[in-house]
Amino acid sequence: MQEGQQGVVTSFGKYSKTVEAGFQWRLPYPFQAHEVQPVSQLRQVEVGRSSIVSATGLRDSSMLTQDENIVDVRFSVQYNIANPVDYLFYNRTDRGGDEELVTQAAETSVREIVGRNKMDAVLYEGRDAVGRNLAESIQRILSAYKTGIRILSVNVQSVQPPEQ
Tens digits of residue pLDDT in 144-154: 999 999 999 99
Which amino acid type is present at position 52? I
Longest dimension (CA), the chain: 65
Alpha carbon distance 160, 122 (integer Å) = 9
Tens digits of residue pLDDT in 106-137: 999 999 999 998 888 888 887 788 888 999 99
pTM higher than 0.85: no
State the pLDDT at residue 56: 56
Statement: residue 159 has pLDDT above 60: yes
State the pLDDT at residue 162: 75
State the pLDDT at residue 52: 61
